[in-house]
């Protein structure tokens, strides 16, 4: 309760300051219409989130709730992918923290699913990084945060211009080449707790018409639990060429290979005795990702821009291990032999193209963004293969044939148009439409004797969005929007979990309607804030009903089950009290921030076969409060940040079961509060020293209860106190 009251007090204090204090206003958007972000901070100690400009030439983001995270301004443990620190200023963002490797991103907002971020449109430099946003939108690849310059977040209203995902867009923006820049680069070496070892090397150079940047990161560690070691190699290369004064041709190539040992889930009793114990020593995860992209940007004038990108993804992931529940020990039999393991393997082949164009006319009173998208994704899935009984990672099978072998294909065509009209210098209206065409097909074998054939699912429909923005001054904006989006039927929805289960032939995509109303702005160079309320209506939620066939045998029926509602408040505010009181100080600058997410996410209608209705029950894995605050002190080349993060309790099942099962798969997920400390010191021009202490108070906590063999049945604990140190040199 103390943390909740503290956060609310600070938020009200910041809000009152923003309207009570006079000061010189700095218009960070004036004469900058074509930039993707704007930061004019002067001597301010503020390092936090900004917002994306209304129109950057091809993207129209007027009246949308957007955030821009600049990682170079942050003190954070980037080498080990500290999502909690990086997204610390993003209100309401729920981060699942059960993966020591940081390979897979699992985040959500507004009561949506945290499962590998599948309710977000996940992109890197504007192109897809998930296997298939329309059929298998799971984030098995995340770029190294040491590559990432900025992260763009656009809430649910991103549906028109990027895709229909309910959560909106998350776009990782990597470093781009710089023309007429002499050859140089940087190296960074990080060591940390639990054997963390991360090495980064980067090269960059540019001539008058040709420039490139290349980077490689190797990262490995033992993990904070036994049987949790990991290693990865990630490479990124981009070359830009100016064939003409108004054109820019780019080629990008990303390659990633990652392997992690999975310690498995643990029971309730085990967590109480030793939160970081492990029951599995022979379970593994492996992924490979290859993404080539070609882009051409044509900008003949400030009024007209166009861009086309052609992209492909050749990727896959495998899971190997002993798949019994956590109450079954993985031990040798009387003859001293371990049981054979099970191997699941996916291969993804996707390719597509997107075209975007933007037009600004009538002295920027009229702005238009249009676009087209074509996409084809193929997933080849092999499961239940009988692998060897060894203890190391190996995909060798005892029987070369997988009992379950399936192939899924998704084809997608989309087109959008969005316009913004300035009714007056202070008032702007925006609106648009998006057309979606999706064809899903699937076939194969569920086992050696059962053939699987999914009927072709052809859907086409139009989504709409509207918004309005009122700017009484250059430093204050009131915005609002309403937009439609949807969660398309995924491949896993079409696939029965057993041969007796049945999928509804009339299964529909889940639909949503999102409303945002907020106020954002700044005061001089000492205060930035964004406060909003939202309502998210989710209909035709997809789930299972327990049924019986004509012979009285039970089976699961996969169908649309009902609707849910999420409503709440999202607040971010950051203040530099020294700039507020004195303008500047020879003793350094201080920045204090608060991030508040209050969310009431409940089932509206969810019938059970028992006759009970889950109306009013809390949505699964949806904390009602996510409250964070922190302080950053900057003095010349030194800065440090301390952040506190409180996450309220949540439920792991729709029935809101409080008392956990012995296995730990179902039950309450308790509230927890974590503290993180990080610092950055820059020596002269070339040297960099960074350090962090995460989970300073060494809290035992968990954010997820696993219900499957991978990553494990039961409680999946978060990391204890851990330390890292980075030394970098720029040349």
- Dump pLDDT digits (tens) for 181-199: 999 999 999 999 999 999 9
Identify the pLDDT of residue 71. 93
Nearest to 25 by CA among 47, 45, 46, 42: 42
Write the CA distances from 272 to 276, 284, 554, 662, integer angstroms. 10, 25, 36, 12
Q: Report the alpha-carbon distance of residue 479 to residue 484 in Å, rounded.
A: 17
Burial letters 384-416, b for 16+ CB under 10 A, else e:
ebbbbeeeebeeebeeeebbbbbbbbbbbbbbb
- Listed as own residue / partner, the contacts of 245-251 with beta carbons closer than 8 Å and 24 or more positions apart are 246/298, 246/299, 246/300, 247/296, 247/297, 247/298, 247/299, 248/295, 248/296, 248/297, 248/299, 249/294, 249/295, 249/296, 250/293, 250/294, 250/295, 250/296, 250/297, 251/292, 251/293, 251/294, 251/295
How far apart are the C-alpha atoms of 433 and 31, rounded to whole Å? 29
Element (H, E) at 422: strand 404-422
Alpha-carbon distance 259 to 101, whole Å?
A: 9
Query: What's the Cα-to-Cα distance from 144 to each of 118, 233, 508, 688, rounded to whole Å?
Result: 19, 10, 36, 18
**284-298 vs 247-261, strand pairing mode:** antiparallel
CA angle 119, 120, 121 (to 5 degrees): 130
20 contacts 527 by C-beta, under 8 angstroms:
no
- Nearest alpha carbon to residue 626 among 641, 608, 644, 613: 644
Percent of the chain with pLDDT over 70: 92
Interacting residues of 393 by C-beta distance below 8 A, sequence separation 6+: 259, 261, 284, 286, 320
Domain 2-176+351-698 adopts which CATH fold?
Answer: Maltoporin; Chain A (2.40.170)
Residue 452 confidence (pLDDT) above 60: yes
Q: What residues contact 147, with CB distance under 8 A and at least 6 apart?
A: 174, 175, 215, 217, 234, 236
So what's the pLDDT on residue 503? 79
- pLDDT the model gives residue 587: 81
The pLDDT value given to residue 45: 61
pLDDT digits (tens, 9 = 90+) for 636-650: 899 999 999 999 999
Mean pLDDT, the chain, integer: 89
Q: What's the mean pLDDT in 412-433?
A: 97
Residue 82 has pLDDT above 90, yes or no: yes
What pLDDT is attached to residue 504? 82
- Closest by CA to 348, choosing from 311, 389, 315, is 315
pLDDT digits (tens, 9 = 90+) for 17-48: 333 333 333 333 344 344 444 444 344 567 77
Does pLDDT of 540 surpass 50?
yes
| Predicted local distance difference test score (pLDDT) of residue 670 | 97
CB-based contact 233:142 (threshold 8 Å): no
**Token pair in block for residue 445:** 């074998």
Strand-strand pairing, 554-575 and 502-503: parallel
pLDDT score, position 545 = 66
How many Å apart are CA 101 and CA 96, to the nearest integer? 13
490 pLDDT band, cuts 50/70/90, is confident
The pLDDT score that the predictor gives to residue 194 is: 97
Percent of the chain with pLDDT over 90: 73
Closest Cα to residue 384, out of 335, 444, 338? 444
- Average pLDDT value for residue range 208-216: 97
Give residue 40's pLDDT: 41
Find out whether the peptide bond into 173 is cis, omega within 30 degrees of 0: no
Q: Which helix (H) or strand (E) holds 271?
A: helix 268-273
Compute the distance between CA of residue 559 and CA of residue 651 in angstroms, rounded to an integer.
22
What's the pLDDT tens digit per position in 281-307? 999 999 999 999 999 999 998 899 999
Residue range 297-321: mean pLDDT, rounded:
96
What are the extents of the domains in the chain?
2-176+351-698
Give the C-alpha separation, 432 to 341, whole Å. Answer: 52
pLDDT of residue 457: 84
pLDDT at 468 exceeding the cut of 70? yes
Burial of residue 604, with CB atoms counted within 10 A of its CB: 0-12 exposed, 13-18 middle, 19 or more buried: middle
Please give the Cα distance from 115 to 137 (Å, whole number).
Answer: 10
The string of DSSP letters for 198-237 reads EEEEEEEEE-SSEEEEEEEEEEEE--SSTT--EEEEEEEE
With a cut of 90, say whether residue 412 has pLDDT above it: yes
Lowest mean pLDDT among 11-15, 123-127, 261-265, 660-664: 11-15
Please give the torsion angle defined by the CA atoms of residues 552, 554, 560 and 566, in that order, rounded to the nearest 10 degrees: 130
Return d(Cα 311, Cα 251) in angstroms, integer.
10
Cα distance between the two ends of the chain: 49
């Amino acid at each position: 309760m103390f943390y909740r009251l503290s956060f609310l007090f600070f938020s009200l204090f910041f809000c009152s300051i923003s309207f009570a204090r006079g000061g010189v206003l700095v218009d960070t958007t004036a004469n900058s219409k074509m930039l993707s972000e704007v930061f004019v901070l002067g001597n301010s100690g503020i390092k936090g989130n900004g917002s994306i400009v209304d129109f950057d030439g091809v993207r129209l983001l007027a009246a949308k709730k957007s955030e821009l995270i600049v990682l170079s301004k942050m003190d954070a443990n980037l080498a080990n992918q500290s999502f909690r620190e990086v997204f610390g200023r993003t209100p309401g963002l729920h981060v699942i923290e059960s993966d020591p490797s940081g390979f897979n991103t699992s985040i959500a907002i507004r009561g949506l699913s945290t499962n590998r971020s599948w309710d977000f449109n996940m992109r890197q430099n504007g192109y897809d990084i998930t296997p298939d946003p329309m059929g298998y939108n799971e984030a098995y690849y995340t770029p190294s945060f040491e590559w990432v310059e900025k992260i763009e977040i656009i809430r649910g209203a991103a549906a028109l211009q990027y895709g229909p995902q309910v959560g909106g867009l998350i776009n990782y923006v990597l470093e781009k080449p710089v023309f007429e820049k002499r050859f140089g680069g940087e190296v960074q070496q990080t060591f940390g707790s639990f054997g963390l070892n991360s090495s980064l090397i980067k090269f960059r150079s540019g001539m008058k018409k040709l420039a490139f940047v290349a980077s490689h990161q190797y990262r490995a560690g033992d993990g904070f639990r036994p049987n949790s070691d990991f290693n990865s190699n990630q490479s990124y290369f981009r070359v830009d060429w100016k064939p003409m004064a108004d054109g820019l041709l780019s080629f990008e190539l990303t390659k990633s290979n990652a392997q992690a040992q999975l310690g498995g889930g643990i029971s309730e009793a085990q967590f109480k005795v030793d939160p970081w114990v492990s029951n599995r020593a022979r379970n593994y995860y492996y992924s490979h990702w290859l993404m080539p992209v070609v882009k051409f940007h044509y900008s003949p004038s400030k009024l007209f821009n166009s861009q086309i990108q052609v992209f492909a993804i050749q990727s896959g992931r495998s899971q190997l291990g002993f798949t019994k529940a956590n109450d079954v020990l993985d031990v040798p039999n009387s003859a001293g032999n371990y049981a054979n393991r099970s191997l699941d393997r996916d291969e993804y082949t996707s390719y597509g193209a997107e075209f975007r164009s933007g037009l600004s006319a009538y002295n920027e009173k009229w702005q238009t963004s249009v676009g087209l998208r074509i996409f084809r994704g193929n997933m080849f899935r092999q499961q239940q293969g009988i692998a060897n009984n060894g203890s190391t990672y190996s995909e060798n099978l005892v029987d070369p044939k997988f009992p379950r072998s399936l192939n899924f294909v998704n084809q997608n065509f989309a087109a959008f148009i969005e316009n913004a009209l300035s009714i007056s210098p202070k008032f702007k209206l925006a609106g648009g439409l998006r057309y979606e065409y999706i064809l899903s097909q699937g076939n194969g074998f569920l086992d050696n004797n059962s053939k699987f054939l999914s009927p072709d699912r052809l859907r086409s429909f139009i989504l709409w969005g509207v918004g309005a923005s009122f700017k009484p001054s250059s430093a204050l904006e009131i915005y609002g929007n309403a937009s439609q989006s949807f969660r398309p039927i995924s491949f896993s929805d079409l696939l029965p979990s057993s041969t007796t289960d049945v999928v509804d032939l009339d299964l529909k995509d889940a639909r949503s309607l999102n409303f945002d109303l907020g106020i954002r702005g700044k005061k001089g160079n000492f205060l930035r804030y964004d406060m909003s309320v939202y309502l998210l209506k989710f209909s035709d939620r997809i789930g299972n009903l327990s049924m019986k066939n004509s012979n009285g045998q039970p089976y699961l029926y996969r169908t649309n089950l009902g609707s849910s509602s999420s409503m709440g408040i999202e607040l971010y505010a950051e203040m530099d009290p020294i700039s507020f009181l004195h303008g500047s100080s020879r003793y350094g600058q201080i920045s204090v921030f608060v991030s508040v997410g209050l969310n009431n996410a409940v089932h509206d209608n969810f019938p059970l076969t028992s006759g009970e209705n889950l109306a009013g029950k809390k949505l699964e894995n949806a904390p009602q409060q996510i409250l964070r605050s922190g302080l950053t002190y900057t003095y010349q080349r030194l800065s440090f940040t301390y952040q506190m993060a409180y996450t309220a309790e949540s439920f792991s099942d729709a029935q809101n079961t409080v008392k956990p099962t012995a296995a730990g798969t179902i039950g309450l997920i308790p509230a927890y509060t974590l503290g993180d400390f990080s610092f950055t010191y820059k020596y002269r021009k070339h040297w960099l020293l960074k350090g962090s202490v995460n989970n300073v108070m060494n809290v035992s906590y968990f954010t997820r209860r696993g219900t499957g063999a991978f990553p494990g049945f039961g409680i999946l604990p978060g990391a204890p106190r851990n330390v890292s140190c980075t030394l970098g040199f720029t040349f």
